[in-house]
Amino acid sequence: MSEVQKKAIVIGTGSGIGRALAFELSRDGYFVGLTGRDPEKLEKLRAELPGPSLVRQIDLRNTREAVHSLGNLIMQMQGMDLLVVNAGVLFHNSDLDWSLEEETIKVNVLGFAAMADVGCNYFLRRGKGTLAGISSVAGHRGSGRSPAYNASKAFMINYMEGLRQRLAATPIKVVDVRPGFVDTNMIRGRKGLFGVVSTEKAAGDILRAIKKGKRIAYVPGWWAVVMWFFKRLPESLYHFGYRKYIEWDTRPKPGQADRRLS
């Protein structure tokens, strides 16, 4: 690792967007900190990356340990210029199973805030740096199918706005990345998706937004227009459209059990 090499840590590189972003950063010359739950997956990724990287197991379901582990990783890497908090879970949970809501809140809310705070405190001590959080267009409206997921993304959006206000007088940047649909395990197999982009395309867009120091970046950019309208839909119209979509999505095929919302 050279003295001037930029260093980035990505929280959640086991699969999907985080994994593609690790490649994008490595190709761009970053020394990359790879984190996730499964050390084997991370070691495999480390072997595939074109540049140097370090691996650390971080499970966001335990925030105390995660805070400690991220601090250690920053020390082990001898610094950090960029922290991307990407990890997240999405469960379809119209039955309101608390264990699923709880895991979503643990990972997407508590885990996100814990990692963001470690990053910002480190950048404050150092006087510079960039935090990027992968929220979602889902953060703009509620969802009867995944209430905790959409609410967790709204939390991230609001939290990052707060951090930008807190850090306004400093050179530290906070980039809120709001993807639409990206082809990962999280959404694979769902019906009615549109404008789905590859993880490589998403990772390229994310790194460009970070380099430009954008406050908010929709991925791809045209989602900004879609969400401008979507945010303004009256709740009654939004619920009507959403319900129609769920009915269509869960309509049983001949010989299949009925999964529709009651």
User: With helix as H, strand as E and coil as C, how does 54-80 read?
Assistant: EEEECCCCCHHHHHHHHHHHHHHCCCC
Nearest to 151 by CA among 108, 98, 213: 108
Q: Is 56 helix (H, G, I), strand (E, B) or coil?
A: strand
Contact status: 49 vs ligand NAP (CB under 6 A): no
**Among residues 62 and 124, whose Cβ is nearest to ligand NAP?**
62
Q: Does 99 bind ligand NAP (CB under 6 A)?
A: no
Minimum CB separation of residue 257 from ligand NAP in Å reads 26
Site size toward ligand NAP, by CB under 6 A: 30
Instruction: Pick one of 6, 27, 28, 61: the residue that binds ligand NAP (CB under 6 A).
Output: 61
SS3 of residue 197 by DSSP:
strand
CB atoms within 10 A of CB 22: 31
Residue type, 152: S
The continuous run of DSSP H or E covering 21 comes out as: helix 16-27
> How many C-beta neighbours within 10 Å does residue 222 have?
11
107 binds ligand NAP (CB under 6 A): yes
Q: How buried is residue 94: exposed, middle or buried, by Cβ count under 10 Å (0-12/13-18/19+)? A: middle
Nearer to ligand NAP, 185 or 262 (CB): 185
Residues from 176 through 215 that contact ligand NAP (CB under 6 A): 179, 181-182, 184-187
State how far the Cα of 233 lies from the Cα of 199, in Å rounded to an integer. Answer: 29
Binding window for ligand NAP (CB under 6 A); candidates: 24-32, 69-77, 83-91, 121-129: 83-91
* Residues numbered 27-46 forming contacts with ligand NAP, rule: CB under 6 A: 36-38, 41
**What six digits make up the tokens of 116?**
């963001």
We find the least distance from the C-beta atom of residue 102 to ligand NAP, in angstroms, to be: 12
The footprint of ligand NAP on residues 110-149 (CB under 6 A) is 134, 136
* Binds ligand NAP (CB under 6 A): choice among 16, 33, 129, 204: 16
Q: Contact residues for ligand NAP (CB under 6 A)? A: 12-18, 36-38, 41, 58-61, 86-90, 107, 134, 136, 179, 181-182, 184-187
